[in-house]
Structure 1
Amino acid sequence: MPLTDDEIDRLDPAARRELIRRLRRVVVIDAAVAAAERRMRRRRAIALTVSAVAAGLLVPWTAYLAVSLPDRYVARAWALTWSGFDVLLIVLLGLTAFFAWKRRMLVVLTSFATGVLLLADVWFDVTTSDADDLHLSVASAILIEIPLAIFLMGMAVGISWRVAGLLNAVTGHGGAGRWRMPINAEVLEDEAKRHTNPS
C-alpha cells in the first residue's frame, strides 16, 4: 500500500533517509533491468538477422554444390582433417564429463554440441567410406555414435526442461509450456521487475 503525504510528513529523519535509500535502490535495479532488457533485445535481433541471412544464403550455395561438385575428390590433408575433427570431439566429450561431474549448467551446451558433432561424424564417415569400409562405418554409427549422440542431446534437452520447469514454478510462467517458455534471462528480469515494482 503506498504511503500518503501525511504519513511521509510524520516520518522522523532516520525513517525518511531509509525510505530514500530504498527508493534509490529500486531506481538502480529498474535501470539495471532496463539496460539488461535492451542488451537482450539487441543480441536477439542480431542473432535472428545473422541466422536468417545465413540460412537464406546457404540454400542457393547448397544447390550449387550439389550440382557442381565432383563425385570423386582427392583430399590434400585427409589425416589432418579427421584427426583434427576427432580432437575436437575428445575436447567436447572431456568438457561434457567435467561439467557433469561439477554439476554445471554448461553441460547443456557441451553435451548438445558433442551430439551434433557425433551426427556430423556419422554422416561424413558413411558418405566418404569406400565399399570395403562402408560396413564398419555403418556398424559404428548404429552401435556407438548415433546412440551416444541421442543420449547426449537428450540429456541436454532434459536438463533444460527440468530447469525450465523449476523456473516456471518459481516465476509463475507455468502456462507457457516448456517449448514456448521465454529465454530464462527474460523470465528472471520479469520476476525482478515484479519484486521491485509490486503493484
Structure 2
Amino acid sequence: MLSFEVCNTARLQRDPRYDGRFYTAVKTTGIYCRPVCPVKQPLTRNVTYYQTAAAAEAAGYRPCLRCRPETAPFCAAWNGTRSTVARALKLIDGGALDDASVAALADRLGVSSRHLARLFERYVGASPQQVAKTRRVQRAKRLLDETTEPLAQIAYRAGFGSVRRFNAVFRELYGRSPSSIRHRRRVFA
C-alpha cells in the first residue's frame, strides 16, 4: 500500500496516474471514491486510504455515485510472487464464488481456505467473499448504467442467486434500490 502522504498528495491533485491504485474513504460521509473524483475535497483528517474497493466496503464504506469506483482501472499489484491471489481474483471475476464456497476455491488453487483468507487479508484487505460481493455489485452497477435489461436479468447476469439478494445487497451498499439508481441515472442523463 502507498503511504498516507503519497495518497493524500495524489488525491488533492486528482492525479489520474493513481486511479485504481488506492481508494479514498471519507469518515464523515461513509463513502469511498477514486482519487480523481470531482467532488469537493474532504478535510485530510476525515480520510482513510484503502488499496482496493473491496477493502473499503469491508470497512463499511459505500461507493460514490459520482466517480463510480467500480469503473477504476484495476492494479496488477498482486502479480509476481502473489500469483495465488491473482489467480483467485481471476476465478472470482469469472464467478467462482457465485455458486461455490471459499473452501472449493481454495481447493482449486491448492491451498487451504484459511491460508487463502490470510493471503486476501494481507494483499487485498478483504475476504474472498467480500471481494466476490463487491465484484457482483460492480457488474450489476455497470449493467444498470449501460443496459435497459430488466432488473431480474441483471441480478442473474451479475452472479446473484436471487433478485431478493440483489436488492438487499444494493440497499446495504448504496442505501437505495437498484431501480432508484437506474431512475437517477435517467434523470441526470
Q: Same fold (TM over 0.5)?
A: no
Higher fraction of strand: 2
Higher relative CO (CA 8 A, sep ≥ 6), structure 1 or 2? Answer: 1
Instruction: Please give the range of the TM-score, normalised by the shorter of the 2 chains.
Output: under 0.3
Calculate the TM-score normalised by the size of structure 2.
0.23
Larger Rg belongs to: 1
Higher fraction of helix: 1
